[in-house]
Structures are given as structure tokens and as C-alpha cells.
Amino acid sequence: MSICPLRLLPLALGLSLVATQVSALDPFANEAMAPLKPSPRLSARVGEAPCSTELPVTPLAAIDAVDLALCNHPQTREVWAAARAQAALVGVAQAAWLPSLDGKASAFRYSLEDRNYNQSAAALTVSWLVFDAGQRSANIENARQLLDAAAATQNATVQNLFLAALQAYYAAQAAQAVVQSTGEAERAARESYLAAESRYAVGVATPADRLQAQTALSQATLNRIKAEGEARNALGALMYALGFSAGQPVRLAEMPVLAPEQRFQADLDALIEDARARRPDLKAAEAQLKAAEASIELVRAQGRPTLSIAAGPTWQEVAGTTTQGGNVGLTLNVPLFSGFDTTYRVRSATAQAEVRAAQRDRLKNQVALDVWRAYQSLTTATQSLKTTADLVASAEQSERVALGRYKAGVGTVLDLLSAQAALASARQQRIQAALDWNVYRATLAQAIGTLDYTLLQAREQGRP
């Protein structure tokens, strides 16, 4: 029974549609290889809260700020898409191990000695690369290592966004605390001015006392106005970091009273080794080095022989005569000379691997420096936080004594204004120390590679 090749056209179209449907599948389960999308579901978040695109109606806490940043920042979508693209490339490399099926059909009309002839042909070919000297294995290893690098890069990006969100949040929170502090300083300056005005009215104070108190009040008012402007700017920066318009209204949670213990203190060498084992950017560099080493093997294998097998039926019709056949063949490809292309490609791949190794080693040293700096900064911030607590307590007592003495007529206005200035300065230093402690605590966790929601959950439960 003969088969007209043109009758194969619907079959070929049907096979093409089937191939299109198969392309939507994931036979190698590469989607499962890709990391999860950055969201509150990651990093040990209890409850696995879904992503939110709206500000909460309750005062914004630090953990809410991180949620919004990870959900809304375009960079999280970018690194996730890059990881999924690399996972698909692993599938591309794995597909080389499977045989391929190709269909071809042709039809044309020609004239010979004033007569017209029709000719058509069709063929199905199954081909399979039997031996490739290790090209496919090296290509898959390269793709998998690059996928590991993409996943580690996503983790590093998430931690960077996590830290940036915390820095913006703590800065806005501290700016609001400064507004409150300058407001208290303004109220104290106004009380001093009223006391000086009262004493001047009864003739027991000089005009200089009154003018000095008025100057101090004006300066305190100016400080409060500046603090309010800086607080608005800090809120705008926070909204930008969270992916919202800078003018979006928001309420922040109150800055908690900090009394940290030095539980973070540990052997510094152990922290550095822990960081070298955990840091996602270092893991990415290590994976990129392994991918470069696999590329060397791939380039070398590309200069070696390959063996392929192909088989399939054929149909042909010429001037009404139909013939059917088939073919089976082996193809051995032996590269003999390529103009030293393989030689120089191997040298290039080797040099690229050396570049990756140097970058990995440089990053190892950077990790140690990051941990060292963050550790020392947190140690200093912890000591400063304890010292500023004593400083504020003594400054408040000194200000109360100076105000009482001045009202009683046994103290000078200069003593009172000096005590109030010292109290305002102590409060500012206390706020800055709390900001530094919060930021450096998160920075140390990021330097070690352990910055996640457990840090904030411990803080919410009252643990340092």
C-alpha cells in the first residue's frame, strides 16, 4: 500500500501541535530546582503569611516593613526570574541526552519537454547522539552550578533587601524619636523662659537672664522644626524602600526600650568560619568557580570525536510513481584541525576559572572583614547603649535640680540652660545609640549570612 507524501501533511501538523503541548510540560522537574519566590514564606517566618501590597492599619512594625520590602521590591522579582531562567537552562542541557524526532515534507512541480511533472517527498528521522566524549555531562554540570549560583545570589539579594528595609525603618523610627526628644527640649526651654520672665517681672532677674532664656527657647523651637523635616524625609525614604509612594501616610510602632545583653559575643574566629560557610554571596562565587571548571571540560570535549545514529522511513512520489524506503546510519565526526580553535578556547576557559577562583578568594577575605567590622561596631553600640542610659538618667536629675534652684532664686540661668542642653544632648545620644545597636545587630547577622525573620521574632519576644 503506497502512501502519498502530501497526505502526511495533516499528520505532521498534528505532531507539531503535540510537540507544542509537550513543550509546556516539565519532564525533568526543573521548576522544582529553582528557589522559592522571595516572600514572607521564606527565612523561618512563622505562619507563612502571604504577600501584602497594602500598608497595615496598625502601626508599622519592623517585621511588617521587611514583609512589604520583599513582596514589593522589583529586585526580588528580578533575581527570582533569573533563577527560574537558569533552571530552564538545566533542562536544555539535560535534553541533549534524549533522541530527537524530525519530520520533513516537500512538494514541487517541474516541466520537461513540454510536459509537467509533480514530485513530493517526506521523511521521518530519529537521531541520537550516542557518544560525545563528555560534552553533555560537562554542560549539565555547568548549568547546575550556575543554577546554584543563581539561587545563592537570590538569597544574598534577599538579605541585602532585608537589611536595607531594616535600616530605613530604624532610621525613620529614630527620626520620630528625635522629634519627640526635641519637643521635650522645647517644652523645657519654654518653662525656663517663663520662669525667667516671671523673675524679671518681679525684679529678681536681669534682662540678660530673660534674653538668654528666650534665645534658648528659639533654638529649641528651631531644632524641633528641623527634626520634624528630617522625620518626614526619613518616612519618605522608608516608603520608597518598601515600594510605595514617598507621600504615603504611615504610622510607625514606638521605639522599644532596649536593654540588650551581650549574647551575640562569641569567638570571633568561629563567627568568621561560620560566615564563610553560610554567606550566600560566597556560595555563589564557589558555584561560579565550579561552573567555570565544568566549562573547561566542555570545551575540551568539543574537540573530541562524536558518534551519532539516525534512522527513519522515507516516501517519495515522482510522476505518479510512489516509492517507500528507509535508512539507518552511523555518523562518526572526528575533528582533525580547527585552526587551533579548541586550543585557545581551552586557554580562555582556564583563565576564566582562574578569575573565578581569585574572586572567590577575595570574597573570603571580604567576609572576614565584614564580620570583624560588624562585630566591633555592635560591641561598641552595646556599650554605648548602656552608657547613654546612665547619661540620660544623670542629665535628667541635673536638669531638675538646676530648674528647682533657679526657681528658688539660688541658681543662675546659665546653670539651668547648661543643664537643659546637656539633657537634650544625652537624649540625642541615647536615640543614636539605639539606632546603631539595631542596625549593627542586623548588619552582623547579614555579615554572617543568618539575617532572617528569626532576628525580628526574637526581638518581638523581648530577646536581644
| Higher pLDDT among residues 47 and 103, named by residue | 103
% of the chain with per-residue pLDDT over 90: 55
Mean pLDDT computed over 275-290? 95
What pLDDT is stored for residue 318 in this prediction?
75
What pLDDT is stored for residue 314 in this prediction?
87
Can you give the length of the chain in residues? Answer: 464
What pLDDT is stored for residue 49 in this prediction?
53
- Locus of grid cell 522511513: 313
Using the predicted structure, report yes or no on whether residue 390 has a pLDDT greater than 70: yes
Q: Write out the three cell numbers for 346.
A: 581551552
pLDDT band at 432 (very low <50, low <70, confident <90, very high): very high
Domain limits, the chain: 5-15+62-460
Using one digit for the tens of pLDDT, what is the confidence trace for 154-176? Answer: 999 989 999 999 999 999 999 99
pLDDT band at 73 (very low <50, low <70, confident <90, very high): confident
What pLDDT is stored for residue 135 in this prediction?
92
| Higher pLDDT among residues 287 and 314, named by residue | 287
For residue 124, the cross-strand partners are 103
| Phi and psi angles of residue 239, each rounded to the nearest 5 degrees, phi first | -60, -40
Strand boundaries in 16-172, DSSP class E: 100-112, 115-131
| Three-state DSSP class for residue 272 | helix
What pLDDT is stored for residue 13 in this prediction?
57
Contacts of 403 (CB under 8 A, 6+ apart): 188, 191, 192, 195, 416, 419
Mean pLDDT computed over 71-80? 85
Using one digit for the tens of pLDDT, what is the confidence trace for 108-142? Answer: 777 767 777 778 888 889 999 999 999 999 999 99
Strands 321-333 and 115-131: unpaired
Q: What is the 3-state secondary structure (H, E, C) of 162-226?
A: HHHHHHHHHHHHHHHHHHHHHHHHHHHHHHHHHHHHHHHHCCCCCHHHHHHHHHHHHHHHHHHHH
Using one digit for the tens of pLDDT, what is the confidence trace for 302-361? Answer: 999 999 999 988 888 876 778 888 889 998 999 988 889 989 999 999 999 999 999 999
Mean pLDDT computed over 87-99? 91
Are the C-beta atoms of residues 360 and 286 closer than 8 Å to each other? Answer: yes
What pLDDT is stored for residue 428 in this prediction?
94
Mean pLDDT computed over 169-184? 94
| Three-state DSSP class for residue 99 | coil
C-alpha closest to that of 310 among 103, 134, 100, 95: 100
Using the predicted structure, report yes or no on whether residue 385 has a pLDDT greater than 50: yes
Contacts of 157 (CB under 8 A, 6+ apart): 38, 75, 76, 79
Using the predicted structure, report yes or no on whether residue 15 has a pLDDT greater than 60: no
Q: Write out the three cell numbers for 86.
A: 537558569
What pLDDT is stored for residue 108 in this prediction?
78
Q: Write out the three cell numbers for 24.
A: 509546556
DSSP H or E run through 321:
strand 321-333
What pLDDT is stored for residue 47 in this prediction?
44
- CATH topology for 5-15+62-460 is Outer membrane efflux proteins (OEP) (1.20.1600)
Q: Write out the three cell numbers for 246.
A: 514617598
Neighbours of 190 (CB within 10 A): 15
Cα 423 from Cα 453, distance rounded (Å) = 36
258: which DSSP letter?
P
124: which DSSP letter?
E
DSSP string, 241-304: HTTS-TT----BPPPPPP----TT---HHHHHHHHHHH-HHHHHHHHHHHHHHHHHHHHHHHTS
Using the predicted structure, report yes or no on whether residue 216 has a pLDDT greater than 60: yes
Q: Write out the three cell numbers for 136.
A: 553533555
- Locus of grid cell 550566600: 280
Are the C-beta atoms of residues 411 and 402 closer than 8 Å to each other? Answer: yes
Mean pLDDT computed over 11-15? 55
Cα 60 from Cα 51, distance rounded (Å) = 15
Are the C-beta atoms of residues 83 and 34 closer than 8 Å to each other? Answer: yes
Cα 104 from Cα 15, distance rounded (Å) = 12
Q: Write out the three cell numbers for 184.
A: 521635650
Q: How far apart, in Å, do the first and last CA atoms of the chain sit?
A: 85
